[in-house]
Amino acid sequence: MAWSEAPALVDHHCHSVVAAELDDDALAGLLAESDRPPAPGTSRFDSALGLAVRRWCPPALGLPVHAPAAEYLARRRELGAPEATRRLLAAAGLDTCLVDTGLTAAAGCELLPLSELAEASGALVREVVRLESVAEAVPAGAADWPRAVGEALAAAATGAVAVKSVLAYRHGLAAPAERPARAAVVAAAGAWLHGGRGRLADPVLLHHLLWTAVDVCAELRLPLQLHTGFGDPDLTLHHADPSLLSGFVRAAEPSGVPLVLLHGYPYHRQAAWLAQAFPTVYTDLGLTASYTGPRVAAVLGEMLELAPFGKLLFSTDAYGLPELFLVGAAQFRHGLGALLADWRADGACSAADARHLARLIAADNARRLYAI
């Protein structure tokens, strides 16, 4: 399928980028989910994602495809961060970006405000509010906390396009099907406030927040995004298997709130099944499509073994580096194009089927889901 016929991309999950000049180590450090050093004698470019960066990004800076990392970094410095950022974002060709504003810095540098990201990318930019960050900033006492977090989330989410939860990082996705009792929430809030209001990790409070998000999303008619699958070393991977959400998904189904399972890998097949089984569940391969480099078509194929075509959404999950917007978009276009070419060669679908499927995943599913 020729992507010239395909619609523009709606990136339904991403973060903003660093505007400041980064030194080479800081820049390469953003090419991994880990904040730990790479194997001795190698750099972060020695990876499937590193290959993808060297495949897609050098031409945007006037270098040949596969330019060595050192030449790429030197050219980037020569152009300066603002010009490199503008070129890389423009080359990504994104129509709309839905930006998770829960992270405000990368590699110790501030991220561009949304208005400046919109200007640099030429894309329409909308906000996704992060649930746990909103809750951690609520100034209420324990007795008022359950009500106050609901009010704070409703205020923060008004004008946003979705709410996102990082429950997977805090306690894991094995959320109970029942709402926690109010007395238990007040007691847990008291302990958390007494302990100095650090990072929210108490399961009772996290599960209360999850149900608060369901209520607020139902009221405002917004989807709820959930991190699933791989991420940084904070995560215990098997606790991020989205099938652990099954009880919660069933319990939240009557609310009608769409639950969007982000990333997924290596549990993207579980996510695909959930999306097939439950009308409220949607899924995504952002991050995975970038990180799997030359294997992107295979991984997209695994996702589409079960995920209904109206349930998978494109994203870049770019964070910190403008390169990751271009890599995410290029990997998706290339990977889906290669997969659909295989399907067509095999007689599995027509050219019209391939175009329809690509349009759904690239933009139409997101436009319908987020009402944009």
| Contact residues: Zn ion, CB under 5 A | 317
Residue closest to 211 by CA, chosen among 266, 169, 260, 249:
249
Give the pairing of strands 109-110 and 124-130.
Answer: unpaired
Among residues 189 and 369, whose Cβ is nearest to Zn ion? 369
Among residues 15 and 311, whose Cβ is nearest to Zn ion? 15
Residues 288 and 268: beta-carbon distance below 8 Å: yes
**Smallest separation (angstroms) from Zn ion to the CB of 123:** 17
**Smallest separation (angstroms) from Zn ion to the CB of 133:** 14
Two structure tokens written together for 109: 């540098």
**Smallest separation (angstroms) from Zn ion to the CB of 271:** 14
Two structure tokens written together for 334: 């290339």
Among residues 317 and 323, whose Cβ is nearest to Zn ion? 317
Residues 168 and 265: beta-carbon distance below 8 Å: no
**Smallest separation (angstroms) from Zn ion to the CB of 179:** 26
Vertex 287: Cα angle to 79 and 226 (nearest 5) = 130
CB atoms closer than 10 angstroms to residue 372: 15
**Smallest separation (angstroms) from Zn ion to the CB of 211:** 22
Among residues 61 and 173, whose Cβ is nearest to Zn ion? 173
Among residues 85 and 225, whose Cβ is nearest to Zn ion? 225
Among residues 150 and 270, whose Cβ is nearest to Zn ion? 270
Among residues 14 and 123, whose Cβ is nearest to Zn ion? 14
Residue closest to 204 by CA, chosen among 254, 259, 135:
135
**Smallest separation (angstroms) from Zn ion to the CB of 360:** 21
Dihedral, CA of residue 243, residue 237, residue 229 and residue 53, to nearest 10:
-160
Residues 229 and 254: beta-carbon distance below 8 Å: no
Q: Which residues contact 73 (CB under 8 A, 6 or more apart)?
A: 24, 27
Among residues 302 and 317, whose Cβ is nearest to Zn ion? 317
**Smallest separation (angstroms) from Zn ion to the CB of 164:** 8
**Smallest separation (angstroms) from Zn ion to the CB of 187:** 32
Q: Which helix or strand (DSSP H or E) is residue 338 part of?
A: helix 323-345
CA 324, 329, 332, 337 torsion: positive or negative? Answer: negative
Query: Which residue's beta carbon is nearest to the bound Zn ion?
Result: 317
Two structure tokens written together for 43: 């750099």
Residues 50 and 143: beta-carbon distance below 8 Å: no
